[in-house]
Structure 1
Amino acid sequence: MKVPVSWLSQHVDLPAGTGVEDLDAAFVRQGLEVEDVLRAPETTGPLVVGRVLEIEELTGFKKPIRYCRVDVGNPEAQGIVCGARNFAVGDLVVVALPGVVLPGDFAIAARETYGRVSDGMICSVRELGIGDDHEGILVLGTEGIEPGTPAAGVLGLDDVVFDLEVTTDRGYCMAIRGVAREVAAALGAPWQDPAAATPPAWSGEPAWAVEVEDPARCDRFSMIAMEGLDPAAPTPWWMRRRLTRCGVRSISLAVDVTNYVMLELGQPMHAFDRDAVRGPVVVRTARPGERVTTLDGADRALTDDDLLITDDTGPIGLAGVMGGATTEVSGSTTALLLEAAHWEPTGIGRGVRRHKLPSEAAKRFERGTDPDVTVVALARAAELLAEFGGARVVGGVVDVDARAPRPQIALATDRPQAVAGIPISPDTVVDALRTVGCTVEAEGAALTVTPPSWRPDLTDPADLVEEVVRAVGYDEIPGVLPTVPPGRGLTPAQRRRRSVGRALADAGYTEAPAYPFVGPAALTALGLPTEGLLTLRNPLSEQEPAMRPSLLPGLLATVARNLGRGQRDLAVFELGVVYTPGAVSAAPLPPVDRRPDDDVLAALLGAVPAQPWHVGVALTGLREPRGQWGPGRVADWADAVEAARTVADAAGVELVVRAGDRLPWHPGRCAELVVGDVVVGYAGELHPRVCAALELPARTCAMELDLDALPEKAVAQAPAISAFPPVRMDAALVVDAGVPEAGVRASLAGAAGQLLEDLQLFDVYTGASLGEGRKSLAYAFTFRAADRTLTGEQAREAFDAAVAAAAADHGAVLRA
């Protein structure tokens, strides 16, 4: 919101000596952030107001040229050559006399041109640096200013504009009226409310038939009819200047007046061409298949959530957002319907986002406007149109009012003191609330507060406390750091997650957290179900409206993004929560003035979906880099399985790996990860269709594991250290290619007995010498006894028992 100080001072009696810095501090003290302080470009020299006395049309040139005699307050009129044609004899204009330096270091001097001496320049808005209009010179009207008057004050070149950032809960400050109230409160100065005027008692029948079908979304709709408007009547310069300083482009008198009243009172309005409106005006929601062409020329499809202003022809405007093209005020409009209404803020906000159509009116409606000023705004607009356009009101006012009584809020006088932690007297509480416009009734220490109509954000005692503290001053609250209670350190789950993260980082993986949002398209590409997803009511992106049930979409998107930027060898991991699909109960809305009871807390927790912690990895390219030591090694499914083992080791659990079959993994290269009897995850090579859908390299690998499904780590026991030497033996076992290595390992370890200290798979071989569909698994056995030196025979006995068990269980044959 841009606030010119000249306009603000019209409503606030600023104390003498109040400067820009004082106003800046006042805005900040009231919670209004100052984005910028704007000043007009500097102009030096004799810049004055002049009256055109004579105009002589010069001929014989390639373009129309005029030689003007202009009264600038001197005994002799000034002769000036000008090419513009939008002014006439008697008009007041801005004249830059010789010696003026305009913005852009444009110096003005007397010079001979077109056969005449031009003793100055008649200026346009752009040449003065106060606008972009350069089609003609600036005309100030015909009366009210004496020739020779310095133009700086008339033009507002000495004015200062504050650009304020208004938060969504302070919509009343999107108007001079609201800002004036805040500045007056901050400076302790008197002020005049521009909405305090009493509307005239227009007589006669209502000017138009109006029906509101949805009073819940439009609880007040006011309208008056006007006729006799001069369509050629110009907007007065002072109004154009204020609109420009507030960042609003001047269009025509009718439109400019509605914008001016919006900036002054905070009540957006709309002007319809009355001759183009057919039949009664009806406020209703859109019907199936309806469309509307808005003032920006766009043809828009409507939904049943769109609130419309309609006539017998259909929609003539998107309520609270933008008018329709069929009833637009044009250069020939002489009869108007002026509308001012109070719309439900959330519905306007939904419409703005649905149609991607932000407007100045919608910015105010979605923050909440004052329903008490609709008729006042119409009266103000009618007054301006009558004064400058010759229009007159026809008939009585239409005022469909379905408002409910304003809510009353109970507040204890000691509540602000308890919240702020500083002494605040009851009188201060009452004065502060009345200053912001509240009606306060006191009964002892209990207050009954009725918020003003322009403050829809005041709904709870906490809101009133904030207003009191703001009035006292946030800077009066001392900064005291709370005493930190002694903690118990990290929880076991937190320590486990950190250990897992460190272990994966040590193994060469890079952590790459992703957003927890996902769309059905990403899950479909992975072959994952899309039913029962937890969908957000107001997602950041329409393409990703749900919470992720898996880490894989984000991880694989990270891989694809890095591949697109030239990275070829990738190993990334993420630790994060996923959101289990399924039905959850609706969460209750807890009160804000007291602690929720146990039933409400239980219902809130019951409405929270399950959010287990998962860990996932994704790999592609070389797992071991190439160099002088060799050609490197490409990552494969075994690396994904090894990442799972790394996680299990860090978590202190025993992991069993067996063959699995689950999308998005390749059915023949998928490992099922089991702890105890629980499947906790999967690892392996992605399905070729998944790689193709996500544009990933063939044989990209991934692993995902449910950390919360792992049992708690047992208390670590120091290993027994034997002083006796080990006995090491190797065995290469030939089995069918389909036999899982984990099963062979389990048979070997189970039969070897307590003498087996370690068992490592160090080679897997396939070749023609073994036969079709056969593979060789080479294991290294380490045997050791805790209390004696093993003999060769004892180690051989345990070794033979292990090989025999593998032969019995899996048909393993000891390879020569």
Structure 2
Amino acid sequence: MRVPLSWLREYVDLPATETGRDVQAKLVSAGLEVETVEQLGAGLTGPLVVGKVLTIEELTDFKKPIRFCTVDVGQANGTGEPQEIICGARNFAEGDKVVVALPGAVLPGDFRIAERKTYGRMSRGMICSGDELGMGDDGTHGIIVLPPEHEIGTDATVLLELFDEVLDIAVTPDRGYCLSMRGVAREAAIAYGLPLRDPALLDVPAPNAYGYPVQVADPAGCDRFTARTVVGLDPESRSPIWLKRRLQKAGMRPISLAVDITNYVMLELGQPLHAYDRTRLDGPLGVRRAEAGEKITTLDGTVRALDPADLVITDNRGPIGIAGVMGGADTEIADHADLAGATTEVVIEAAHFDPIAIARTARRHKLSSEASKRFERGVDPKAAAAAAQRCADLLVLLAGGTAEAGVTEVVAPSAPRTVTMPADHPDKVAGVAYGRETVVRRLQEIGCDVYGQDELIVTVPSWRPDLAAPNDLAEEVIRLEGYENLPSTLPRPPAGRGLTERQRVHRRVGRALAGAGYVEALNYPFIGAQVFDQLGLDADDARRRVVTLVNPLSDEEPALRTTLLPGLLGALRRNDGRGSHDLALFETGLVFRPTEGQPGVAVRLPVDRRPSDEEIARVNSVLPEQPRRVAVVLSGSREQAGWWGKGRPSDWADAIQAARLVAAESGAQLLIDADQHAPWHPGRCAAFHVMVDGVKTLAGHGGELHPRVVKALGLPARTCAMELDLDVLERASEGAVKAPSISAFPVATQDVALVVDQSVPAAMVEYYLAGGAGELLESIRLFDVYTGDQIDAGKKSLAYALRFRAADRTLTVEEATAARDAAVAMAAEHTGAVLRGA
């Protein structure tokens, strides 16, 4: 919201010495995000005056059209003689009043005006456009042509209000009332302790039966609709300069008088309005939900297919506008440029629509407008009648119209909103003793009616839909008393508390992967159904069952992720497309799996105490399962080539090694088997299992992605990935990871070569060797894999180095050999391994 300081002063008598920076500091301390203060007219100096074009001579000897003009500027040039000016613009004629920069003037951008010879003539000044004066977009981008009533020689800087300060406020969703001059003025009045001249306090006639007929079929979607009619508009009337300038300073483009007035009132009161050409309406105005198959052409010229959830404005022909978003082209106000069809009768609509319905409609049609921005944040429903009256008054004043006596107002009954709050509740929230008087005074300043002593009954104002609970009221008291006045205190956690084991595992895993060269990439937890097809998942795959959001940020990704891979692979694709080809990314986070049965309704947990175990259990019972996962993706080179030797590309073994690293940090031991599981290559996919309470449990998968998946997602060739369930690893761990013990006694090394079927994974043989070796085993390493003439077909030889060491003694040869034999025996029992050469 752009707020001109000159406009703000109309509602609050700010001290004359207060600058935009001063007002910014006050509003920021009150909780508004004032991002910048723009100095309009910075670098602009006169003389800048009103002139009248006397003659225009067309110079035709040049490549582009050039005009030699004489302009009467009165006594502003010191002589009273016409000023000779060269100009290339063509949107003005003899007799027009224009803005002239005389020699010595400096325009924005340090553009200095001086006498100079150009195109064979002397040019003594410049005829100015709005862009050259820094006025903003006026829709013409041509020379400013002033109304004829302005006197020659008048100071144009005052006439065009070129000097001003504009506060640019980033209005948060809960402060929608500040998308208006009325709302910002209220905050400024409170900050300075000054009275507010509320522009909505107008004498509004009572509704009667003579107004334009309105039929509201959906009171839940539209609880208030006011209609006023103004007739006899002068088709040649134009928006005055002050109106155009206020719109431009607020960041809006002037269009035509009737439209400019509706925009002006919206900026002033925060109530979006729409004006219909009454001659183009067919029957009563109506409000209802759209019907299947209905379409409408909106003011931007786009034909839009309506959704049954859309609120629409109708007449006898059907939809003529998308309620709260954009009007239809069929009833558009015609500009004065076409006098034959210019609008002379206007029906003004001032309505209040359901914020959620408007927000969803705007998002559904990708059509964000100034009206929808305000409706979805909450508009004051009681301001509708005042806004319609203000609009009618301005049309009568500026367009010579007559407001008809008929006033239509359709209102759905509603009770005032009240909140009950202990008088000392803000004190407890802030840790500051404000006292009842301060609390009541601050709540009354924002428009609340307050009753009661120890227990306050607060009736919140109609323009503050965000005030719904005691904590909302406490926040208002705290911000108005000043966040900077809150004491800085450190929390005192009770002894014995810290990170849970789950949190410790999460942190250890992240540090280990980062230390191994992976870069953490955090992604949004939203996905669309199309990604499951790209990953090649079966129709009955459990990962296709998703939790769908009621109000998603994007219609293309309306569900919560069931796997971390889509987000990580998307990050890898983007980075690869931007020139980073050697990538190793990881992410840890939650995935969401819907539970069986119908979802329940979550309870609102208290914030003034720790929720009870029963309350937490009730919330958890209606939530989806949220296991914590870790995933990695790799592409390009894993080891760079250089003077030290050849590089090495990433492959499936790196993904499996990442899983080993994660398991080691979790204190779990992986059992790795070959598997076929989408989206991995069926011949290069490993399944990771762990033992949980004696049961072999699946923990995840890793390997090289299937070529079809790589192609569908636009990934680099031979991309690899791994995903593990950290919660399963935690259940399989033996508690906290312990530091390794260091022995001063020598190591005993035993090598063993085992022959197994080629289908048996080496990791499985290693797992059972380690299980049989016992506590004396310090490490085990696969150092050779052989297939050839010296062993049978379909077999392979795996050679392992086993290191044994005791903490309290030097091992004997017999002890080391016994441990080796026990390891071989267990591997033979579970994998069919046979000692090579035996």
State whether TM-score is above 0.5. Answer: yes
Match of 1:226 among 210, 227, 230: 230
What code does the residue aligned with 2:135 have? I
Structure 1 residue 186: Cα displacement: 1.8
Residue 125 (str. 1) matches residue 93 (str. 2): no
What corresponds to 2:620 in structure 1? 605
Q: How much identity, in percent, do the aligned residues show?
A: 49
Match of 2:420 among 410, 415, 418: 410
Structure 1 residue 169: Cα displacement: 1.9
With the length of structure 2 as denominator, give the TM-score of the two structures.
0.85
What corresponds to 1:174 in structure 2? 179
Residue 9 (str. 1) matches residue 19 (str. 2): no
- SS of residue matched to 1:366: helix
What code does the residue aligned with 1:421 have? G
- SS of residue matched to 2:547: coil
Structure 1 residue 667: Cα displacement: 3.7
Structure 1 residue 183: Cα displacement: 1.7
What corresponds to 1:671 in structure 2? 686
Structure 1 residue 55: Cα displacement: 4.8
Q: Residues 155, 768 of structure 1: CA spacing in aligned structure 2 closer, same or farther, 3 A cutoff?
A: same
Spell out, residue by residue over 1:414-452, the C-alpha distance to the aligned partner (whole angstroms, 9 max, x if none). 2223323333232322222222222222x3323222112
Residue 185 (str. 1) matches residue 190 (str. 2): yes
Structure 1 residue 211: Cα displacement: 0.4
What code does the residue aligned with 1:773 have? G
What corresponds to 2:837 in structure 1? 815
What corresponds to 1:551 in structure 2? 564
- SS of residue matched to 2:226: strand
Structure 1 residue 740: Cα displacement: 4.4
Q: Residues 228, 508 of structure 1: CA spacing in aligned structure 2 closer, same or farther, 3 A cutoff?
A: closer
What corresponds to 2:142 in structure 1? 135
State the distance in 2 between where 1:73 and 1:746 align: 97
State the distance in 2 between where 1:4 and 1:757 align: 75
Structure 1 residue 744: Cα displacement: 5.2
Counterpart mapping for 1:19-418 below 5 A: 19-41=19-41, 42-49=43-50, 55=54, 67=70, 69=72, 71=74, 78-80=81-83, 94=99, 96=101, 99-105=104-110, 123-132=128-137, 133-142=140-149, 149-200=154-205, 205-331=209-335, 332-418=342-428
- SS of residue matched to 2:45: coil
Q: Residues 805, 421 of structure 1: CA spacing in aligned structure 2 closer, same or farther, 3 A cutoff?
A: closer
Match of 2:484 among 475, 478, 486: 475
Match of 2:630 among 602, 605, 615: 615
Q: Residues 198, 78 of structure 1: CA spacing in aligned structure 2 closer, same or farther, 3 A cutoff?
A: farther
- SS of residue matched to 1:125: coil
State the distance in 1 between where 2:141 and 2:655 align: 68
What corresponds to 2:339 in structure 1? none
Structure 1 residue 341: Cα displacement: 0.8
Contact 1:292–1:299 at 8 Å: present in 2 too?
Answer: yes
Moved more, 99-108 or 22-31: 99-108
* Count of paired positions: 808
- SS of residue matched to 2:545: coil
State the distance in 2 between where 1:721 and 1:114 align: 96
Structure 1 residue 512: Cα displacement: 4.3
- SS of residue matched to 1:169: helix
Structure 2: where are the runs of 5+ without partners? Answer: 336-341
Contact 1:79–1:119 at 8 Å: present in 2 too?
Answer: no
Q: Residues 489, 445 of structure 1: CA spacing in aligned structure 2 closer, same or farther, 3 A cutoff?
A: closer
Structure 1 residue 735: Cα displacement: 3.8
Spell out, residue by residue over 1:599-647, the C-alpha distance to the aligned partner (whole angstroms, 9 max, x if none). 5433212223222233334445555666678756555544444443333
State the distance in 2 between where 1:692 and 1:114 align: 62
State the distance in 1 between where 2:66 and 2:327 align: 40
Q: Residues 198, 705 of structure 1: CA spacing in aligned structure 2 closer, same or farther, 3 A cutoff?
A: same
Structure 1 residue 456: Cα displacement: 1.6
What corresponds to 2:727 in structure 1? 708
State the distance in 2 between where 1:744 and 1:98 align: 93
- SS of residue matched to 1:220: strand
- SS of residue matched to 2:202: coil
RMSD value over aligned CA atoms?
Answer: 4.0
What corresponds to 2:338 in structure 1? none
Residue 775 (str. 1) matches residue 785 (str. 2): no
Moved more, 584-593 or 168-177: 584-593
Structure 1 residue 766: Cα displacement: 1.5
Q: Residues 687, 231 of structure 1: CA spacing in aligned structure 2 closer, same or farther, 3 A cutoff?
A: same
State the distance in 1 between where 2:827 and 2:166 align: 89
- SS of residue matched to 1:326: helix
What corresponds to 1:655 in structure 2? 670
Contact 1:510–1:573 at 8 Å: present in 2 too?
Answer: yes
Q: Residues 233, 117 of structure 1: CA spacing in aligned structure 2 closer, same or farther, 3 A cutoff?
A: farther
Structure 1 residue 777: Cα displacement: 2.5
Contact 2:83–2:125 at 8 Å: present in 1 too?
Answer: yes
Structure 1 residue 707: Cα displacement: 2.4
What code does the residue aligned with 1:373 have? A
Contact 1:125–1:137 at 8 Å: present in 2 too?
Answer: yes
State the distance in 2 between where 1:316 and 1:36 align: 39
Contact 2:768–2:823 at 8 Å: present in 1 too?
Answer: no
